[in-house]
Amino acid sequence: MIQGPGPRIYLNELHGAYVNSMRLVIQRVIEARVTVNNDTVGSIRKGLLVLLGISRADTTAAADRLLEKLLTLRIFPDDDGKMNRNVAESGGALLIVSQFTLYGDCRKGRRPSFDQAAPPEQAQALYEYFVEAARQGPVPVETGVFQAMMQVHLVNDGPVTILIDSDDLKKNQSRPPMNANEHG
């Protein structure tokens, strides 16, 4: 393990480095749906399409941090058009889709390496944990099908697309409060 100012990195002689971070790509949508073999398996109207990537080093603690951030993220407009409401306050829902390709490493060669992605058994357990925890929250939750070939259809609203890594959240926990003069 390498420790330093950045994220913890685990070295593997055969496959390079592993970043210790669960990853979300969040898209604010007017509507979204996931189909498998032309059958709709999950759909929402207004809300968030969440692409969830799980790395080899991820834990339930990382999932808990990301879910808390996801549910409280203020990226929906208030009455003045400012991004000031979270998904629950806006009357939205979540569509959560597992996506190991978020860990595609394209630094070498022409074919992405997915060595940083968690193996299927580990990824499925953490994906199911994340989904079940989300279902305990304040908004409806729909999903894709783990390890299925899916088609994701969406109408992005804004567009608003946000990327969050769980390690980034740990770094900000010790950050001092912002001054009144800083913008947040």
**Does the annotation mark 27 as catalytic?**
no
CA distance 162 to 143: 19
Exactly one of 59, 101, 151, 161 is catalytic; name it.
101
State the amino acid at position 129 in one-letter form.
Answer: Y
Is 130 designated active site?
Answer: no
The residue annotated as part of the active site, out of 100, 116, 130, 143, is 100
76 is annotated as an active-site residue: no
Which residue among 27, 99, 116, 143 is the active-site one? 99
Q: Residues with catalytic annotation?
A: 99-101
